[in-house]
Amino acid sequence: MVKAIYPGTFDPITVGHLDVILRASKVYDHLIVAVMENRSKNCTFSDEERKGFIERCIEGLDNVEVIIGHGLTVEMARNLDCKVIVRGIRAVSDYESELALASANMKLDENIETIFFVAKPELSFLSSSVAKEIASFNGDISDYIPSCIIDDVAKKLYK
**Which residue numbers are catalytic?**
17, 41, 90, 128
What pairing do the DSSP bridges indicate for beta strands 113-118 and 84-89? parallel
Q: Which helix (H) or strand (E) holds 10?
A: none
**CA–CA dist 132, 105 (Å, integer):** 30
End-to-end CA distance of the chain: 46
119 touches 147 (CB < 8 A): no
